[in-house]
Amino acid sequence: MRNKRYLVLEDGTTYKGYALGSDNLTAGEIVFNTAMTGYQETISDPSYTGQIITFTYPLIGNYGINRDDFESLRPTLNGVVVREACDYPSNFRKSKSLDETLKFYDIPGISGVDTRNLTRKIRKFGVLKAGFAQSEADIPQVIEKLKSGSFRTDEVDQVSSVRPYISTGDGYKVVLIDYGKKENIIRELNRRGCDVTVVPYQTTIEEIMNISPDGIMVSNGPGNPESVQDTIETIKEVVGKIPFFGICLGHQLFALSQGATSYKMKFGHRGANHPVQNLATGKVDLTSQNHGYAIDEASIEQTDLEITHIALNDRSIEGLKHKTFPAFSVQYHPEASPGPHDSNYLFDEFIEMIKLHKEKERTINA
């Protein structure tokens, strides 16, 4: 029988439930994810650094946790909220349960919560600060800390690679600037034969050019894109020199580097079922998403960028391309982990962009 635990929001709302995971009770921005599967990939996504995830799907943990499906070396989120946590998962690949995994990584959680009610509250009032309490007597103190405290803004620094490393291939050489990448980005590039050099987000343009890359990718990552302003100049210098592809935070940084601006969304996009329309073809893809910031559409008018994709739920920008240079970005996750594979073709478009750029260079130099 699990001990009682309380989820406390900054406005004083309290949800009673049962202890899950670690007893190291933390706090964070509470968000919700609507995916029906892929909870392991979600929990290990670095873009959730410092946040508490509410899973809207009612049963989490039923197929356990395995060694192979992590999207990072270790989860960096601050908590998990579920309606029901499965204590006895059933799958031939499992090595641990959800509860065991959260305890191993010292992450607190709570089960038995009315996650539908909580999600409706976040949708109505926007993302809120939240924390955990072990007893009713602790709740006032948690509320006071939430109201008076503030969270770290150096999330990217917590999850970016410490030093460069290579995932070898026999095709084009791609530099992946790591702002909190998901491992499946590397896997997708390797499947296409790419030789991937992962570099920390502070890597300079000179260091990148010394690698002689055929293409540049800027990864997803956590937090506000304006918190890493000092790296935007590097991206600005890269665009136009080498074919460029940005994903999620990389999409936002691409836009900011070209003069656009960003804003914080009311409750963001987090899930594996978000419809996105390609404006050139009219085709709609279901996409995997995880972001709390977006690019201001009005700010695009003053740039050399063109909107290529929009979210059908709220009409926010989901894709951009440069009008002159071989550079594009998407707000969603084409590496599809977790999620559908509808937008996986974007990696092929990136490879084709590299190919055409190299052919153009050969023609000029001939």
Residues 127 and 9: their CA atoms lie apart, in Å, by 10
Catalytic residue among 71, 188, 318, 335: 335
Residues 43 and 51: their CA atoms lie apart, in Å, by: 10
Q: Whole-angstrom Cα distance, residue 299 to residue 120? A: 31
| 194 belongs to the catalytic site | no
- 71 is an active site residue: no
Q: How far is CA 254 from CA 60, 164, 186, in A?
A: 35, 21, 20
Closest CA to 326 of 294, 360, 281: 360
305: left (phi over 0), alpha (psi -120 to 50) or beta: beta
| Contact predicate 272/34, CB 8 Å | yes
* Cβ–Cβ < 8 Å for 174, 215: yes
Q: Which two tokens stand for residue 263?
A: 């804003």
Catalytic residue among 251, 274, 291, 333: 333
CB atoms within 10 A of CB 306: 14
Which residue in the list 248, 251, 291, 309 is annotated as catalytic? 248
The token pair that represents 112 in the structure block: 């038995």
- CB neighbour list of residue 340: distance below 8 Å, 6 or more residues apart: 272, 273, 285, 286, 287, 288
**Residues recognised as catalytic:** 248, 333, 335
